[in-house]
Structure 1
Amino acid sequence: MTRAPHPASPDEAGRAIRGALAACRPGATICPTDAARQLATARGETAPEAWRHHLPAIRRTAVDLAREGSIVILRKGKAIAPDAVRGVIRLGLPALPSGESA
C-alpha cells in the first residue's frame, strides 16, 4: 500500500500556482490541476495520481491569492469573487490597467 504524500503547505501551493501561471502566455489561464501536477512533480512524487492529493491545498491557496489580488479566479470565463468559488474554475493573472505593460 502506497502512503499518501504530505499535504502541500500554502507556500508550496502558492509557488506552484505562480509557477504554472508564469509558464503561460500573457492572458492565458490555468486549471488548478495544472498547479497540482506541477507541485507533485516538484516534490518528486511519481505516482500517476499523486497530484490529486494537492488539489484541495491549491484551491484554498488560490482563494487566498485572489483575496489579496495576486490572481483572479474565473468560472465560465468570468472573474468571480473568491468567496463564490465552487465547481470548475480557472486561475489567471489580473489584467493590467490600460496603458500599462508587464
Structure 2
Amino acid sequence: MTDHEAIAAEILRQTAARGAEKSICPSEVARALAPEEEAWRRLLGPVRAAAIRLAREGRIEVLRKGKPADPAGEIRGVIRLRASPPAAAEKE
C-alpha cells in the first residue's frame, strides 16, 4: 500500500466509524498514522490532499465552517471531514 493509499484508507476508516452525522479533523488521521508530533505534522498536507481527492470521488465530504465545500473549487483554511450521506454514495 502506498502512502496516499494508506492515508485514504485511514480517512475512510475514521469517517465511517464516526458516521455521516459527525466529522473528524485531518489531524486525527495524521496522528493515527504517525503518533510522534513532528511526524504527524508533516502528514497534514498529504492528508488534506487525499481528503480532497476522496471528496471529488464522492466518497467523503470536506466541510468548511460546518458546510460541505465544493471539492472542484479551491478549499482553503480549516477543514473537517465526514462520511458522504448515504444518498450521495448511492448515486455512483
> What's the TM-score once normalised by structure 1's chain length?
0.74
> What's the TM-score once normalised by structure 2's chain length?
0.82
User: Which string of whole-angstrom CA distances, capped at 9 and with x for unpartnered residues, describes residues 40-83 of structure 1?
Assistant: 14xxxxx3332111111100010100000000011001101112
1:29 pairs with 2:19: no
Offset, 1:39? 1.2
Offset, 1:35? 0.7
- Give 4+ residue runs of structure 1 displaced > 4 Å after superposition: none
Q: Whose relative contact order is higher, 1 or 2, with alpha carbons under 8 Å and at least 6 apart?
A: 2
Aligned length: 86
Offset, 1:26? 4.3
Q: Secondary structure at the match of 1:88?
A: coil
1:10 pairs with 2:12: no
Cα pair 1:20 1:38 within 8 Å, conserved: no
Structure 2 regions of 5+ residues with no counterpart? none
1:71 pairs with 2:65: no
Identity %: 42
CA RMSD of aligned residues (A): 1.8
**Equivalent residue letter for 1:85:** I
User: Which string of whole-angstrom CA distances, capped at 9 and with x for unpartnered residues, describes residues 12-54 of structure 1?
Assistant: 110121122133144110011111111114xxxxx33321111
Cα pair 1:70 1:93 within 8 Å, conserved: yes
